Structure 1
């Protein structure tokens, strides 16, 4: 196979040299060029046609996100954002994702607590995954200009007869918007594990809450799972379901990462299989790795209806592919068809 061609865009000569050193240590990667600002990068994109671009946010003459928006319009390129703002500025994080970044990482530092070898291995792995990712495979869902009116139904006082469990990772922030846009105000109680760094899941949930007629919130210990509510697992916490009388609640914990992630969807889905069984639906959306595959299989064995997103609409067909390979998915569907399929199955179960 040909090498993955990478263009490094950063105004810091130190960072450019560090990234080049890391990436060049892999026999599968070739650094074909570097640029100190977006205007130089623009010319090199046209000239070199790299497979992957690494991009800083704070740069002279034009910020990285504005540049990425232009790149994705005129010369779509798989992009990893490396920025010191990725850790502290959640607005920057989400703007980068919406602009088309596939991965966002904190900018490597000389004084990092982890070893250079570990950091190098992480960056190389990210580049390899991003090189296989699809560019802009999903339709963006516009944020409404005026606040969405929430449902005034009394659904929160009722028990949850049906429940949806969703796993997503790379590309999932936009995929979840598409999925949730197909759901009604009285959406069945829904649990979501989206792999995100600590501190960002609350901002993500708050943003979704403004977009849809149902409640979306970062899960808190003991939260009840009810119609009209979507709970998103907090970054760095696993989320599981338990039953108390006629009601379902969530518990949070910090057991060791599973599949190198915390939260892990397998924890959540296996608990849904145990306590909800056939009254649940499970979904695995776009993402790298295999988290959610085993949990989805347990849900299917417990009688739940299970769906995996198809390869054509995934940014990264890792998690859904792992689920399909395990035989965990009853159906494989395009992203924009999943919500309707689940609602149809849930309506049939309610009528039975």
Structure 2
């Protein structure tokens, strides 16, 4: 269309076949510029990044499988969900969930492999976008001292910047629930939320060693003993559940657990990539090309996220229920899928929206902000 060619300053658009060939040829070379453009965009427009109630900005990193079953694409293998596909790791910043990176990984790759290097990159990018202290949250698959050492090394390399804290789910591995129950009986703070269910909260101080360095650590623990299930059925053998969280924060146990529970919000961001942007089944048979597609998707995601935060949460936005953010599907429905008439007059192109179109004020405001110096 003439409007998009003029607006995007594009003279020629290659065919699908030519575009695929160019992506295959230059995928590795284009990765870094695309990722840098995404971060530079957020930095240039001063994207609003909302911290948690305690003033920390959440930095959530997690692996999510992409189902690419019945294909022979490079890197497709069995994921932890039992399907054939990829297992990329994503990192999201703030309550808005801006994407700092989507790293494509083979489906069978363990989630901890290459994670310290990923954390180094996303921590550096997060510093460019906010001066507030960060809270890195990882699940139990990334319970490794290497990740904690990466955070500590980053803080030491940036002594004048706000610190980065970590909150990592503990992986009990071969730990005995019965032994932890015995420990909790002596040191835990017990409560009874319902008949037949007891919950103990306590902390454990530990020291670990890595590459000749000593790391004093704090782990918040929760032990749950159930003698009656939620349906009122008495159990012959008590059900014992143990959970733990490594953290550099000195908040009380309940606060630490609540902070980690909010980590589940990143699943919503995964869902928006897979459904709203439709990138579950990647298009190419080449791994490098699919990695570039994910990087481009992250760029588009950040643009749409900013449009939603800036355009659909203001006073002139179309009426909707109150929310911290609008999902990408809503952004596209409200601001993208809108009919307009293209008018060519005085050697200029104009978009004429229908009378009373409710998104015109939003469109003008966003356009002026993006076109500004």
Q: When the two structures are superposed, what TM-score results if normalisation uses the length of structure 1? A: 0.26
- For the pair shown, the structure with the greater C-alpha radius of gyration is 2
Larger strand percent: 2
Q: When the two structures are superposed, what TM-score results if normalisation uses the length of structure 2? A: 0.25
Higher relative contact order (CA closer than 8 Å, sequence separation 6+): 2
